[in-house]
Amino acid sequence: MPSISKENYIKAVYSLCQNDAHSVSTSALATKLNITNAATSDMAKGLSKQGFIKYEKYKGVSLTPKGEKTAIEIIRKHRLWELFLMKSLELGWEEVHSEAEHLEHQTTEFLMNKIDDFLGNPKFDPHGEPIPQKDGTIPNMEAQISLNKSQVGKEYLVKRVNDESKEVMDYFTEIGLNLNSKIKIKNFLKYDNSTIIELNDNVHSFSEKIGKRIFISQLNE
């Protein structure tokens, strides 16, 4: 039962440990959480004392099993809320993330399980992210690569997108890029590592930064 700040901290440790190694620097956390380095170090002590994280000075932070369980519970709430808001209120996939970011901290297990059952115990959220199940297990995603790692000339299906920027999600919606959209890789620009694709007979380009946040799987002919 950590505070909202602590829940967000734990969630940040979890997601930053996904990509990189098995630990995060305090400064990476500071950037993600939009607080100072000093605050991040400070917080690390508290969470460490409470057994949520492992923290050695100058060595970064990682989650204990207790911390990981907590992170997964919060992420479950986040993703179920997103799906629920879309299914029950017809919000757009670009609108649900910011609402879920708040609701995730104010939802009882009881309510969450009601929502889970209402949705039929779904495995994926509206952005293609797996929804941690009641028992804590996380559904497997089929093999995916980021747009940057794709091959020119091949066709792919969009399987997952990072939803953190509403601005970017709005743009996806505007150009008609959705989950399971079919895209064809036209080219990579050496100049800035952007990717040129074809989508619904239109040509679009994505910066390297955005390309890293679109995940695709190869279309089997």
Binding residues (CB under 5 A) for Mn ion: these are 8, 97, 101, 163
Q: Minimum Å distance from CB 209 to a second copy?
A: 27
CA distance 8 to 102: 10
Give the contacts of 216 (CB within 8 A, at least 6 positions apart). 144, 145, 146, 147, 150, 156, 157, 158, 159, 183
Please identify, using beta-carbon distances, which residue of 47 and 214 lies nearer to DNA: 47
For residue 173, is it left (φ>0), alpha (ψ between -120 and 50) or beta?
Answer: alpha
- Whether the CB-CB separation of 89 and 99 falls below 8 Å is answered with no
Largest CA distance in the chain: 56
Residue 43 touching DNA (CB under 7 A):
yes
What 8-state DSSP symbol labels residue 121? S
Which of 36, 113, 121, 178 touches DNA (CB under 7 A)? 36
Please identify, using beta-carbon distances, which residue of 46 and 155 lies nearer to DNA: 46
- Residues 20-79 binding a second copy (CB under 8 A) are none
CA distance 44 to 55: 7
Q: Minimum Å distance from CB 120 to Mn ion?
A: 20
Stretch that binds DNA, among 40-48, 72-80, 164-172, 174-182 (CB under 7 A): 40-48
Residue 176: phi, psi to the nearest 5? 80, 25
Alpha helices in 119-205 (DSSP H): 166-175
Please identify, using beta-carbon distances, which residue of 101 and 208 lies nearer to Mn ion: 101
Residue 130, CB-side half-sphere exposure with 13 Å CA sphere: 13
Site string for DNA, 73-102 (x = CB under 7 A): ------------------------------
Amino acid at 82: E
Please identify, using beta-carbon distances, which residue of 52 and 172 lies nearer to DNA: 52
Which of 37, 133, 165, 194 touches DNA (CB under 7 A)? 37
Please identify, using beta-carbon distances, which residue of 26 and 181 lies nearer to DNA: 26
CA distance 171 to 204: 11
What does 28 bind: a second copy, DNA, Mn ion, none (CB cut-off 5 to 8 Å by kind)? Answer: DNA
Q: Minimum Å distance from CB 101 to a second copy?
A: 9
CA distance 53 to 6: 11
**Binding residues for DNA, per CB under 7 A?**
3-6, 25-28, 34-46, 55, 57-60
